[in-house]
Amino acid sequence: MTWTRAVARCVRAVSIALALPSLSMAPRATVSSLYVPRSMKQAYSRGTRSPDGRPGPRYWQNRARYTITLTASPPNRKVTGTEQIVYVNASPDTLRRLAMRVIVNIHKAGAYRATNAGPDYITSGVHIDAFTVNGQPATWNAENGYTVQGVTLPAPLMPHDSVRLGVDWHYDVSKESNREGMLDSTTFFLAYAYPRVSVYDDVNGWDLTPFDDRLEFYSDFNDYDVTVKVPANFVVWGTGTLRNAGEVLQPEILKRFQASLTSAQTIRVATIEDMRAKRVTAQQPVNAWHFTSTNVPDVTFAVSDHYVWDAGSVIVADGRPPVSVQAAYNDTASDYRHMVRFASHALDWLSHEWPGVPYPYEKTTVVEGPAGMEYPMMANDESYPDTVFSRFVAEHEIAHTYFPFWMGIDETRYPFMDEGMTTSTEYLLGVADLGKAKADSFFRAFRVANWIGDPAAAADEPIITPNSTGDNGYGKPALGYLALKALLGDAVYRKALHEYMELWHGKHPQPWDYFATFNRVTGENLDWFWRSWFFEPNYIDIAITGVAGSGSGTQVTLANVGGMPAPVDLIVQYDDGTSETLHQTPAIWRTDLRHASVSIPARRRVQSVQLEHGIWMDADPTNDRWPSQRPGV
């Protein structure tokens, strides 16, 4: 997401595990003790999903094939489009109406939106010029004309049948751009540029959530064949493979572009001098840039007559061609000169470390723009004076490739399933890039401090709450996923995460599919953890309630005041001047969510104990020390 616009924006570690009672009951692979919505229970009983977290034997998913032509001629703001959609109804339901998404209507006066809109953001929206169903003229009888529109079909679309839709449209790109629009007078970022069929799924039926510029997207997996027509001297970057580089590029530029596809070094495909001298693109009135992509949730394009173009490549898996890594930017954006290297590093790290799944697409392109926004194979990221921050933003947006894109997440309803997961990956990448101390302090300041410092009820709204973003989308769930990783250990966490990704990529997982998959793979009923982190109005506050010595050692008793089971370190000072850190995972709360005790062997006398929370910042530091230093206590 527009993540920069998101809400307001070692010592020796000794783990003393409590003697755990061995789990006498057989591990349950369901999430039956959690709140499960009726819609999910219906999916279980219909067999489209399984309570053990797997897609059910009757799982289905609709898909489409889009053939699109977009025409733009900046500085004229008008974009025209024509498309053929073949939409396949794999559901067992007869569809009499289709919900169509016309997202650019967010710019229309009167559109429902979560943010203010200045005069330069407002346009007249998308105008549907022609509509056909199976080749016959039909009425685009949308009743509200905004971002989600119901269209009645002349004849019902039967189960396992398909329908062919033809749409012609035009719109003006907005002068003020956010996720899409005009980047400057001759650079357009064309996202959401085509009308598409909304998701119809087995749990919630039609997704009718309006696009409000806050909640993001939910998309089916489609195949795209897109031609973008622009005047000579405009370059087009976009989702998918460029099919006709030889037709749209001049020979020298083509040579550089082709070299970049296997080059580990950044190649300046088109410099500002090349662009100014008009020696980049084929010199004919209009060039038609042809891109194809398969099984992706969306396509996005950028066009410019002066952005410069860098490219290189990176190997993400043995036996696969290198992934093309490209950057398009104003020549003045000095941080962007490193962008191909930053993005290549992100692809390499994500593929081999966390999530440790080879980057699933053939390319990625980072385009300079104001959004801090991810798209399949594309990002629209601001230029920053600090290259550490530029890299950080690029890494976050590229990490979104997995969640939501590859995983098909309904991020409109459950932002924590994509932003939260991506924010946890962002932290792990930060540790790799900057070292733990720097990454911790940045994460605390940027992702945690605002939330934990806010005592209002809204701050503690359960993460699972539908359509809840801000801290519930980013910092809180990221801390939850990282606490889970600490609880399970890296190997088990990775195994469960990979099983979830393997089962659900290219599909539409719901939160309960994720929870149940982890329960099944770990062989452990983690409902206590899910409930405390995701389902209850909790926060992080761990207190020392007592320290008692005996012959056999010292017992430190802890209370989980806030309710979230987070990792914590006990910094123990002994009276001989030594100290040690006793690292505790959330396992200490497994049997009793409110009380835990940590044993310190009776080797030395304990002088003081201090809690250290790392990134899991604590709401009340005054109860973190023994002996207490609170005045009057």
Cβ nearer to Zn ion, comparing 68 with 399:
399
Minimal distance, residue 616 CB to Zn ion, in Å: 21
Three-class SS of residue 93?
coil
Minimal distance, residue 421 CB to Zn ion, in Å: 10
Minimal distance, residue 3 CB to Zn ion, in Å: 4
Q: Which residues bind Zn ion (CB under 5 A)?
A: 1, 3, 419
Judge contact between 413 and 217, C-beta under 8 A.
no
Minimal distance, residue 372 CB to Zn ion, in Å: 8
Q: How far apart are CA 510 and CA 35, in angstroms?
A: 13
Cβ nearer to Zn ion, comparing 74 with 473:
473
Q: Token digits for 306?
A: 């002066």
Q: How far apart are CA 492 and CA 323, in angstroms?
A: 29
Q: How far apart are CA 405 and CA 95, in angstroms?
A: 26
Minimal distance, residue 399 CB to Zn ion, in Å: 8
Cβ nearer to Zn ion, comparing 381 with 513:
381
Provide φ and ψ at 172, rounded to 5°. -100, 130
Cβ nearer to Zn ion, comparing 1 with 540:
1
DSSP of 571-598: EEEETTS-EEEEEE-GGGGSS-SSEEEE
Q: Token digits for 58?
A: 């009757």
Cβ nearer to Zn ion, comparing 256 with 400:
400
Q: Token digits for 109?
A: 């006066």
Minimal distance, residue 509 CB to Zn ion, in Å: 18
Helix, strand, coil tally for the chain in percent (to 5): 25, 30, 40
**Residue 334 gets which letter from DSSP?**
G
Cβ nearer to Zn ion, comparing 201 with 419:
419
Judge contact between 348 and 314, C-beta under 8 A.
yes
Cβ nearer to Zn ion, comparing 468 with 538:
468
Cβ nearer to Zn ion, comparing 397 with 524:
397
**184, β-bridge pairs:** 187
Minimal distance, residue 406 CB to Zn ion, in Å: 14
The side-by-side arrangement of strands in the sheet containing 13-14 is 13-14, 579-584, 568-574, 606-612, 625-626
Cβ nearer to Zn ion, comparing 1 with 521:
1
Three-class SS of residue 282?
coil
Q: Which residue has the tokens 């004309």?
A: 145
Minimal distance, residue 7 CB to Zn ion, in Å: 12
Q: Count Cβ atoms below 10 Å from residue 256 Cβ, excluding itself.
A: 21
Q: How far apart are CA 177 and CA 193, in angstroms?
A: 13
- Distance from the Cα of residue 330 to its chain's centroid: 26
Cβ nearer to Zn ion, comparing 133 with 407:
407
Q: How far apart are CA 127 and CA 130, in angstroms?
A: 9
Cβ nearer to Zn ion, comparing 474 with 500:
474
Minimal distance, residue 374 CB to Zn ion, in Å: 6
Residue 596 CB partners (closer than 8 Å, separation 6+): 18, 557, 558, 560, 584, 588, 589
Minimal distance, residue 456 CB to Zn ion, in Å: 24
Q: How far apart are CA 548 and CA 45, in angstroms?
A: 53
Minimal distance, residue 422 CB to Zn ion, in Å: 5
Judge contact between 4 and 372, C-beta under 8 A.
yes
